[in-house]
Chains A and B, each alone.
Chain A
Amino acid sequence: MTVKEVHQGLIRKEFSALELCRVYLARIKKENKKINAFLDVSEALALSQAKEIDTLISQKKETPFLAGVPCAIKDNILVEGISCTAGSKILENYVAPYDATVIKRLKDQGVVILGKTNLDEFAMGSSTENSAFGPSHNPHDLSRVPGGSSGGSAAAVASDECVYALGSDTGGSIRLPASFCGVVGLKPTYGAVSRYGLIAFASSLDQIGPITKTVEDAKVVFDVICGRDRLDSTSIEISSKIENKKSKVQIKNLKIGVPKEYFVKGINSEVEKVIKKAIKKYEEMGAEITEVRLPHTEYALPAYYIINPSEASANLARYDGVKYGFSAKDAADLMEIYLKSREQGFGDEVRRRIMLGTYALSAGYYEAYYLRAQKVRTLVKNDFEKVFQKVDVLLTPVSPFPPFKIGERIDDPLSMYLVDVYTVSINLIGVPALSMPVGKVGKLPVGLQIIGKHFEEEKILEIGKLYESY
């Protein structure tokens, strides 16, 4: 069901929030054995939240759009009193002491939280195979990955184990799993959504966003979670939001750019066909399609994979076996607590990135790696700024290929990094991007990426809706 369908069903009293909640909890019980989308099911919390909504409806009080709508939360976002593992052994027994700001905002609407979803450990990965608690499976083909790192959230939405979910996106972690699972995912503008209560990974890149069944639902959820928060000094009020609402997107005046560099060697020809067909549809609707150039595209990925581990290595220094989380029992002194807790608590990919980042930031290498990457980041940004003077949005694939087999890439870290080639630029420059299903290769879904200018979520969502209703 979609958010809209649930809302209408509830206010027309076709079903109660409690009944609906029970149906979803039963579905999770059945599906989770196959898909492993959920790490934790918060049954007691969900049922009590649903009961409250039924009381609200019976008292004929105003029912917010998201009230009573069952959702799932990526397990790196804090929900007070519920465990939050970030897919890591080091936080296996950690119970969140407070709500993330996005959770607070959802609770104000009367959210029903079904549980916490699987992810690559600390969101580091593109397949959810890096989870300490086993991989999630793609509902369209259980032998394949759901994408990552928000793979549990996307798989849960795709298998209707929840109506919508929250994910986080550092280099494609909402858009890739949305594409692989055939659902909608929005990576908002950097700063549009508060990161307070999101377990920090790479702080200049991380954003929380919705994963939903329709573009319309993505808009509903985004409108609730976005906005300035005094607990996140990088969050910004979207003043253009209201202006955007006034001016509906006119397809006839719409200029769409298609970057040449996103259709080069390496892209699966079937995926390319699906994407080209979707772009053609926009042309038929009356939009003007122009080929554009983003010449530094091939450098965005290596720059990203320097900046990301550098920030991660600093952020993950907090897991020390002293303040919270796993603490090694067999340590003789303080240094051993650090060494052993982090050795035993962190998985392979997390340790790899911590070491990469430490190396890139260490004396003698800082300029060659980190500073160089930041300068390349400027060049990538300049590319986009130039192109956005000529076009309103960009259309690209989300991934160069359809979902791959579980186990296919996990032993070669670099081959896993290459999965993110079409998504990382967006985080480096902080613009919003939508992933929307536009076709299939066999039974495997293919997502189209709609990239907008800073704070133009409204526009890319409107453009997504045009496709859905065409």
Chain B
Amino acid sequence: MISRQEVQHIAKLARLGLKEKEVEKYQKELSSILDYFEKLKEVDISKIEPTSHSIAAENVIREDEVKREQRAKNKKLLELAPKTKNGHLKVKSILK
């Protein structure tokens, strides 16, 4: 079973707040799922290349330029933000 510390470490990496009592729950649940993944160890994967994408896709290239119509869109997108200031997203302090 994965440890309390491991669960807390993963949650922190993922920026997920976790209540004390939830740690044990996730310990159990994640462990049972990770045990199930052990099944893959039965497969001989030596000399096998990984597949990240099922269809061969072409790279798409374009000029890196600001489009005029983007301005209006940006305004719309900013309106969705919880806090903004002078056309920027506003966040809480990082340094204490």
Taking beta carbons and an 8 Å cutoff, which residues of A are in contact with B? 94-95, 97-98, 189-191, 204, 230, 233-234, 236, 296, 298-299, 302-303, 305-306, 313, 317, 320-325, 327, 331-340, 342-344, 346, 351-352, 354-356, 358-359, 362, 369, 371-379, 381, 413-414, 417, 427-431, 454
Give the CA-CA distance A373 to B38 in the complex, in Å.
11
| B68 in the interface (beta carbon within 8 A) | no
Whether B94 pairs with A334 at a CB distance below 8 angstroms is: yes
Whether B7 pairs with A355 at a CB distance below 8 angstroms is: yes
Query: Besides the contacts A306-B40, A343-B17, what 9 more A-B pairs have beta carbons closer than 8 Å?
Result: A233-B60, A302-B39, A305-B36, A322-B82, A333-B92, A334-B93, A362-B13, A374-B52, A381-B54
Residues of B within 8 A of A344 (CB): 17
Give the CA-CA distance A358 to B17 in the complex, in Å.
14
Q: In the assembled complex, how far is the CB of residue A313 from the closest CB belonging to chain B, in whole angstroms?
A: 6
**Chain B: which residue is nearest A357 at the CB level?**
B14
Whether A324 pairs with B40 at a CB distance below 8 angstroms is: no
| B15 in the interface (beta carbon within 8 A) | yes
A342-B17 CB under 8 A given contacts A97-B77, A414-B36: yes
Give the CA-CA distance A204 to B82 in the complex, in Å.
30
A191-B80 CB under 8 A given contacts A332-B92, A346-B16, A355-B30: no
Whether B73 pairs with A379 at a CB distance below 8 angstroms is: no
Whether B50 pairs with A371 at a CB distance below 8 angstroms is: yes
Q: Which of B2, B30, B50 has the most CB of A within 10 A?
A: B50
Q: In the assembled complex, how far is the CB of residue B36 from the closest CB belonging to chain A, in whole angstroms?
A: 6
A234-B30 CB under 8 A given contacts A306-B37, A346-B16: no
Q: Which of B77, B80, B96 has the most CB of A within 10 A?
A: B80
Whether B40 pairs with A302 at a CB distance below 8 angstroms is: yes
Q: In the assembled complex, how far is the CB of residue B13 from the closest CB belonging to chain A, in whole angstroms?
A: 5
**Chain A: which residue is nearest B93 at the CB level?**
A333
| B63 in the interface (beta carbon within 8 A) | no
> Please, could you name 23 A-B residue pairs with CB atoms under 8 Å apart, sorted by A?
A97-B73, A97-B79, A97-B80, A190-B54, A233-B59, A236-B57, A299-B40, A302-B39, A320-B15, A322-B82, A323-B80, A333-B93, A334-B93, A339-B15, A342-B15, A342-B17, A355-B14, A358-B10, A376-B43, A377-B50, A378-B48, A378-B51, A414-B32
Residues of A within 8 A of B92 (CB): 331-334, 336-337
CB-contacts of B25-58 with A (<8 A) = 26, 29-30, 32-34, 36-37, 39-43, 45, 48-55, 57
Residues of A within 8 A of B83 (CB): 327
Give the CA-CA distance A352 to B36 in the complex, in Å.
15
Q: In the assembled complex, how far is the CB of residue B72 from the closest CB belonging to chain A, in whole angstroms?
A: 11
Residues of B within 8 A of A417 (CB): 33, 36
Give the CA-CA distance A313 to B37 in the complex, in Å.
18
Interface residue count on the B side (C-beta < 8 Å): 51
**Chain A: which residue is nearest B54 at the CB level?**
A430
| B76 in the interface (beta carbon within 8 A) | yes
Closest 5 CB pairs of A and B: A430-B54, A343-B17, A374-B50, A339-B17, A327-B82
Whether A333 pairs with B94 at a CB distance below 8 angstroms is: yes
B55: contacting residue among A97, A190, A359, CB under 8 A:
A190
Q: In the assembled complex, how far is the CB of residue A193 from the closest CB belonging to chain B, in whole angstroms?
A: 12
Q: Which of B49, B55, B57 has the most CB of A within 10 A?
A: B55
Q: Which of A189, A305, A373, A375 has the most CB of B within 10 A?
A: A375
Whether A337 pairs with B91 at a CB distance below 8 angstroms is: yes
Give the CA-CA distance A236 to B55 in the complex, in Å.
10
Residues of A within 8 A of B29 (CB): 352, 413
Whether A372 pairs with B45 at a CB distance below 8 angstroms is: yes
Give the CA-CA distance A381 to B55 in the complex, in Å.
11
Give the CA-CA distance A405 to B51 in the complex, in Å.
36
Whether A375 pairs with B10 at a CB distance below 8 angstroms is: no
Whether B26 pairs with A352 at a CB distance below 8 angstroms is: yes
**Chain B: which residue is nearest A323 at the CB level?**
B81
**Chain A: which residue is nearest B9 at the CB level?**
A362
Whether B80 pairs with A428 at a CB distance below 8 angstroms is: no
A305-B51 CB under 8 A given contacts A191-B57, A321-B82, A336-B92: no
B14: contacting residue among A336, A354, A372, CB under 8 A:
A354
A334-B91 CB under 8 A given contacts A352-B29, A359-B30: yes
Give the CA-CA distance A346 to B36 in the complex, in Å.
25
**Chain B: which residue is nearest A342 at the CB level?**
B16
Whether A299 pairs with B60 at a CB distance below 8 angstroms is: no
Whether B14 pairs with A234 at a CB distance below 8 angstroms is: no
